[in-house]
Chains A and B, each alone.
Chain A
Amino acid sequence: MTDLTNVEMEVVEKPRSQWRDVWDQFKTHKGAVAGLSFLIFITLFAAVGPFLWDVDPGRLDIRNKDVRPIYMGLFDSSAKVSWANPMGTDNLGRDIMANIMQGGRISLAVGWTAMVLAVVLGTTIGVLAGYFKRLDGLLMRFTDLVLALPLLPLLLVMMLLFRDPLRAAFGPETGIFLLIVAGIGITSWMQTARIVRGDVMALKEREFVLAARSIGTPARRMITRHLLPNVLSPIMVSATLGLATAIITESALSFLGLGFPSDFPTWGKILFDSVDRMTSFPERVIWPGLAISLTVLAVNYIGDGLRDALDPRIRGH
């Protein structure tokens, strides 16, 4: 009996899956692991945090306004600190920690949704241009044209002009959310489209595609079964870059006063609102700014690690 299990143990050793290899390589990149841990931490902080820290971010408590963060008590015993507001409160007495959590929810949601939109758009256009020769010239001309547009000013124009109608149609929060996501999404798909197109064109000449075509695979299945899985790694890398830019763009819009309405916190909005009083309360700018910067830094490091892990020439060394 024992003999049999021993034999089985040897035989049954599973072939290592590709993603297992990728993960093993990813783990060796210290920055990427740190980035991933921080991203998970900040996502949990924003997603689960409000259930544990049960303070309404919009609740005004004018008596406890301008509370400094708790660590200020260490340097300055006369500072107004309280354990009820560990990160302090703003000039209307709103709890900053609750605001950062709520702002993180929105900033991250905008970032992820806009990134998914941009990646889907870019991949679709890239695959179509790379696979169908007839569409290539037209789609790539179009991509070049969009790349020549001054994107930040146009985004600002879009925000300004479509804000009120969308707010009227979908309500203040959903309307602005849709507008920002759509704006960022349709102004940041071009790099993905170019990369995907190049890769698809190279893949199209490979033998396995010829083999698949020779048994009569229709174009639709060709793309979904044979091409898309093979361009997944550049897509994932550009998705991480897209997430980083989307978060920065959303905060930049909020910072310029053209993002979400004022009682609706996002990291960029909190930063923008605190700039006027940063001489007396620098911590109010630093919390949201750190949240944005560290998240983007983490995402960039993840992208770096992913790029190494997904490159089979580097993997396994």
Chain B
Amino acid sequence: MLTYTLRRLLLSIPTLLFIAFVIFMLLELAPGDPMASMPLTIPPEVKEKMREALGLGRPWYVRFPLWLNQFFIVEPQYWFDQTFGTNFANGAQRIISFQSRSPVFDTIAERMPQTLWVVGMSYVVGVLIALPIGIISAYKQYSVFDQAGTFVSMIGFSVPPFFSGVLLIVVFSVQLKWLPSIYDTTHVVTGWDSFVFQLRQMVMPVMVLALQTTAQVSRYMRASMLDNLGQDYVRTARAKGMSESVVVMKHVLRNSMLPVITVIALGIPAIFGGAIITEQIFKVNGLGQLLITALQGSDIPMVMTITFLLAVLIVMMNLIADVLYGILDPRIRYD
């Protein structure tokens, strides 16, 4: 198992390098110019100086290794220095945003908590709703509950977040005036009242993202339960006289969870993608919104870093899913 994990970790390095290269070259080869939004009155020689100041003067085969160096060596050094008060970085050049002229990672660290709160919460809520739905749907296959569950998950697949979010705002903020339509990220929880306010503003973005998760996970849970419910060991357990709850909740559920856990791990990067849209609707100033503003401002270092971080997340989650599967299911032998 350990050797497998190590081998996968080593294999993910060239994968990530390739992905970084693809993103870099896409930004590099694109005909768009990061200076396009500058006023036309700037003389060409000044413009050339500005390009050089942004680090655009040199060809890609110089800048790509430089970026890799900054991302993989300099930035961790700064992070280490900040945590332990050392001085490894020694004033090396960090990745600087074109727009704000501040280090990209500082901005990302500022935006991260909002996204993690909303996205993480919605994922937990979505999974917690999905599991019981999947279990009951499978146990009572073709019942009214199962049909309703199928329909709800079909809706979860079909209604895009930018419509379900807007619909929720129209119903709960505009018509009923129960919930705020804008997520206030400056809000600090100090007591009970502010905690309730925080809960109220989180309900809608969390539910919009959770609907997508629920739709997917409950389908997998149902299919996996159905696979297991028909197996011989279930009949044996029943024949031994075990109560129905023990059979379903212990024997079947534990076996059915195996593939579902990998699906849950694999779904995490996708939900970050969904957060891009949800943050735009509820005006959460998280990572997704940061990416959109960076895109609109041709802020190449910011776009590159956020996109690459998402790629790292995808590759790592794939790895974790595979390793988890091997740990949880003793029948699977990778070595």
**Interface residue ranges, A against B (CB under 8 Å):** 144-145, 148-154, 156-158, 160-165, 244, 248, 251-252, 255-258, 268, 271-272, 275, 278-279, 282, 285-286, 289-290, 292-294, 296-297, 300-301, 304
B30: Cβ under 8 A from any A Cβ: yes
Q: Are A248 and B160 in contact, CB atoms less than 8 angstroms apart?
A: yes
Closest to B167 in A: A289
Q: Are A256 and B314 in contact, CB atoms less than 8 angstroms apart?
A: no
B298-335 residues at the A interface, CB under 8 angstroms = 298, 303, 306-307, 310-311, 314-315, 318
Q: Are B154 and A300 in contact, CB atoms less than 8 angstroms apart?
A: yes
> Taking A161-B31, A289-B163, A292-B160 as contacts, is the C-beta distance between A150 and B307 under 8 angstroms?
yes
Closest to B308 in A: A150
> Taking A162-B31, A256-B276, A297-B154 as contacts, is the C-beta distance between A282 and B170 under 8 angstroms?
yes
Chain A residues whose C-beta falls within 8 Å of the C-beta of B30 in the assembled complex: 157-158, 161-162
Q: In the complex, how many angstroms separate the beta carbon of B310 from the nearest chain A beta carbon?
A: 4
Q: In the complex, how many angstroms separate the beta carbon of B288 from the nearest chain A beta carbon?
A: 9
Q: Are A145 and B170 in contact, CB atoms less than 8 angstroms apart?
A: no
**Interface residue ranges, B against A (CB under 8 Å):** 15, 18-19, 22-23, 26-27, 30-32, 154-155, 157-160, 162-163, 166-167, 169-170, 174-175, 269, 273, 276-277, 280-281, 291-292, 295-296, 298, 303, 306-307, 310-311, 314-315, 318
How long is the Cα–Cα vector from A146 to B156 in the complex, in angstroms? 26
Q: In the complex, how many angstroms separate the beta carbon of B316 from the nearest chain A beta carbon?
A: 10
Contact among B155, B157, B277, B318 with A256 in the assembled complex (CB-CB below 8 Å): B277
> Taking A151-B273, A153-B291, A300-B158 as contacts, is the C-beta distance between A161 and B166 under 8 angstroms?
no
Contact among B158, B170, B295, B315 with A297 in the assembled complex (CB-CB below 8 Å): B158
Q: Are B27 and A157 in contact, CB atoms less than 8 angstroms apart?
A: yes
How long is the Cα–Cα vector from A272 to B277 in the complex, in angstroms? 11
Q: In the complex, how many angstroms separate the beta carbon of A228 from the nearest chain B beta carbon?
A: 28
Chain A residues whose C-beta falls within 8 Å of the C-beta of B273 in the assembled complex: 150-153
The winner among B162, B295, B307 for most chain A CB atoms within 10 A is: B162
For this complex, 20 residue pairs linking A to B, each with C-beta atoms less than 8 Å apart, are A148-B15, A148-B315, A149-B19, A149-B22, A150-B307, A150-B310, A153-B291, A157-B30, A161-B26, A161-B27, A161-B32, A162-B31, A165-B31, A252-B277, A278-B166, A285-B170, A289-B166, A293-B159, A297-B155, A301-B154
Majority-rule SS of A interface residues: helix
Closest to B174 in A: A279
Q: Are A156 and B315 in contact, CB atoms less than 8 angstroms apart?
A: no
How long is the Cα–Cα vector from A294 to B32 in the complex, in angstroms? 37
Q: In the complex, how many angstroms separate the beta carbon of A23 from the nearest chain B beta carbon?
A: 22
Q: In the complex, how many angstroms separate the beta carbon of A271 from the nearest chain B beta carbon?
A: 7
Q: In the complex, how many angstroms separate the beta carbon of B142 from the nearest chain A beta carbon?
A: 13
Contact among A153, A279, A294 with B310 in the assembled complex (CB-CB below 8 Å): A153
Closest to B280 in A: A256
Contact among A150, A158, A256, A286 with B170 in the assembled complex (CB-CB below 8 Å): A286
Q: Are B292 and A256 in contact, CB atoms less than 8 angstroms apart?
A: yes
Q: Are A156 and B154 in contact, CB atoms less than 8 angstroms apart?
A: no
> Taking A153-B273, A297-B155, A300-B157 as contacts, is the C-beta distance between A148 and B314 under 8 angstroms?
yes
Closest to B272 in A: A150
The winner among A153, A244, A285 for most chain B CB atoms within 10 A is: A153
The winner among A150, A158, A251, A297 for most chain B CB atoms within 10 A is: A150
Closest to B306 in A: A153
Chain B residues whose C-beta falls within 8 Å of the C-beta of A150 in the assembled complex: 269, 273, 307, 310-311, 314
Contact among B15, B32, B280, B307 with A154 in the assembled complex (CB-CB below 8 Å): B307
How long is the Cα–Cα vector from A79 to B174 in the complex, in angstroms? 18
